[in-house]
Amino acid sequence: MSEYSAWFECINGCPTRFNLTEVIYRCPTCGDLLDVKHDHDALRRRSGPAWIKLFEDRYRRNDFPYGSGVWGKKEWVIPFIDNENIVSTYEGGTNLMWADRYGKLIGVEDLWVKQCGNSHTGSFKDLGMTVLVSVVKQMIAEGSPITAIACASTGDTSAALANYGAAAGIPAVVLLPKNKVSPAQLVQPLANGALVLSLDTDFDGCMALVQEITNEPTIYLANSMNSLRIEGQKTVSIELVQQFDWEVPDWVVIPGGNLGNVSALGKGFLIMRDLGVIQKLPRIAVAQAANANPLYLSYQRDFQTFEAVRAKKTLASAIQIGNPVSYKRAIKALTQFDGVVEQATEAELADEAARADRTGMFNCPHTGVALAALRKLVDKKVIRSDERVVVISTAHGLKFANQKIAYHMNELEGIESAHANTPTEIAADLGKVKDAIRKFSDRARALGTGRG
């Protein structure tokens, strides 16, 4: 047994605690979401510097499971789980890239991009799914009747669930909105052997159905209303602070859809501060697609009210969500972190992703939303040019190759691609090839090397 404990507790503070291996997603008293709480008194018996030393000793080493970015922080995540039940693909440990050229372009001197998409299934969803599937494996080992894990998804959650399910040998069921996920996102759960239900609805429709299905105690719910996932995702803030040698940045910019990830980000910073690992908190900016912007609209009303919207089609398909399940948690986090919300139109997100690609990134559209929002916040002087800023890049650009090709071919409906780059088709002739290279070099020189 671990000397540390953790449990579920209602986000509104209803008094009952629930075991993390119990099949429960909502507070039986008020019906709201549950959070994972840790015994901070017990955790505080180890000093901040001692936690730092422990995490440093484990980081990206080979002692299973502690080399994982998530399980290296096991005591803060799920302390009691048996290591033999942990289902890990060595997630986390993603690079924090210094975006020097792009930063200069938009007027931020100290800009960094946390590349969460450089991971096993190509998005940050791995961080939460390793935790959820590991807990389910422990539940089954302890005699639980669970036969499958299910989720609704805009693409990346289903890829992560199918993958960790396959690694654990636990069947996965994924509900996807038909024709609304990319081919790369569709092929992942197919390849990993999940039951892929392609439904004639949107994400919010899939979400409503999966909540009904998982009323059965044999089918476990893997969406982020299940806060086990938040526990894994919160390690992204711990890891990025670790990558700055335990210094806290001034701002973190993060794209938000169902709003679980921004809540997780906040939770990671709060536990670090509470346990003496850091002394200050960053400010947080949530970036939404203008076509799916309920949090942005609520922010305009100073969070006095929150109303779901009908999400319109957006290139940033993973955040095409009108009724985010974690909006209360997100508003709480934004209030604690002096946060702001900004939005980006389709043209803004596509152009900004492409502009940043020209400086050595390869962005997914959600990261495009975050970058476009960052640029607006810098232009409005909400974010100052001397502040250290981290952008959370949530998925790998290769998952969205089709729409990126369409951008460069200028084939995206309603968008004039400002940074399109098309293949130059010429004969296989030395003179023609040399001509093409000369034109290319001349144009680059005319634009200047510092320009995007």
Residues in the chain: 452
Please name every residue paired with 115 in a beta bridge, in sequence order, or none if there are none. Answer: 393
Among 19, 30, 338, 436, binds Zn ion (CB under 5 A): 30
Closest CB 8 distance from Zn ion, rounded Å:
11
Can you tell me the distance from the alpha carbon of 240 to that of 157, in angstroms, rounded to the nearest whole number? 22
Tokens of 288: 């939404």
The footprint of ligand PLP on residues 380-409 (CB under 6 A) is 394-395
Binding status of residue 140 toward ligand PLP by CB under 6 A:
no
- Which of Zn ion, ligand PLP, none does residue 156 bind to, with CB < 5 to 8 Å depending on kind? ligand PLP
Q: Are 129 and 222 in contact (CB under 8 A)?
A: yes
Cβ nearer to ligand PLP, comparing 85 with 94: 94
260 binds, among Zn ion, ligand PLP, none (CB under 5 to 8 A by kind): ligand PLP
Cα(299)–Cα(370) distance, integer angstroms: 16
Query: Is residue 123 close enough to count as binding ligand PLP by CB under 6 A?
Result: yes
CB half-sphere exposure, 443, CA atoms < 13 A: 8
User: HSE of 261 in the Cβ direction (CA atoms, 13 Å)?
Assistant: 28
Rg (CA), the chain: 22
Contact with Zn ion (CB under 5 A): which of 12, 218, 335, 422? 12
- Please give the structure tokens belonging to residue 53: 């030393």
CB of 233 to Zn ion, least distance (A): 22
Contact 115, 393 (CB under 8 A): yes
Dihedrals phi, psi of 66, to nearest 5 degrees: -75, -15
Maximum CA extent, the chain = 78
- Which of 85, 235, 261, 291 is in the footprint of ligand PLP by CB under 6 A? 261
Contact with Zn ion (CB under 5 A) among 27, 194, 221, 259:
27
Q: Which is nearer to ligand PLP, 20 or 236 (CB)?
A: 236
Taking the complex as a whole, the smallest distance from the CB of residue 438 to ligand PLP amounts, in Å, to 40
User: Contact with ligand PLP (CB under 6 A): which of 114, 120, 366, 376?
Assistant: 366
Q: Tell me the CA distances in angstroms from 24 to 37, 78, 148, 227, one per residue in order.
A: 15, 16, 15, 10
Q: CB of residue 100 vs Zn ion: minimum separation in angstroms?
A: 47
The span from the CA of 263 to the CA of 279, in Å, is 19
Comparing CB distances to Zn ion, the nearer of 12 and 441 is 12
Of the candidates 119, 138, 163, 224, which one interacts with ligand PLP according to CB under 6 A? 224
12 is in the binding site of which of Zn ion, ligand PLP, none (Cβ under 5 to 8 A by kind)?
A: Zn ion
The yes or no reply on residue 6 touching ligand PLP (CB under 6 A) is no
Residue (of 314, 274, 311) closest to 294 by Cα position: 311
In 246-352, at which residue ranges do the beta strands (DSSP E only) sit? 251-255, 283-289, 340-344
Task: Read off the tokens for 403.
Answer: 């729409």
The one of ligand PLP, Zn ion, none whose footprint includes residue 261, by CB under 5 to 8 A per kind, is ligand PLP
**How many residues interact with ligand PLP (rule CB under 6 A)?**
17
Q: Which is nearer to ligand PLP, 140 or 236 (CB)?
A: 236
- Site residues for ligand PLP, window 154-173 (CB under 6 A)? 156
Other beta carbons within 10 angstroms of residue 411's beta carbon come to: 12
What is the residue type of 65?
P
What is the spatial distance between Cα 281 and Cα 262, in angstroms, rounded to a whole number? 14
341 backbone φψ class: left, alpha, beta (φ>0; ψ -120 to 50) = beta
Instruction: State which residue, 190 or 447, has the beta carbon closest to ligand PLP.
Output: 190
Give me the least distance between CB of 34 and Zn ion, in Å please. Answer: 8
Q: Smaller CB distance to ligand PLP: residue 92 or 255?
A: 255
Binding mask 241-260 for ligand PLP (x = CB under 6 A): --------------xxxxxx
| Residue 195, strand partner residues | 173
What is the binding site for Zn ion (CB under 5 A)?
10, 12, 14, 27, 29-30
What is the binding site for ligand PLP (CB under 6 A)?
123, 125, 156, 224, 255-261, 318-319, 364, 366, 394-395
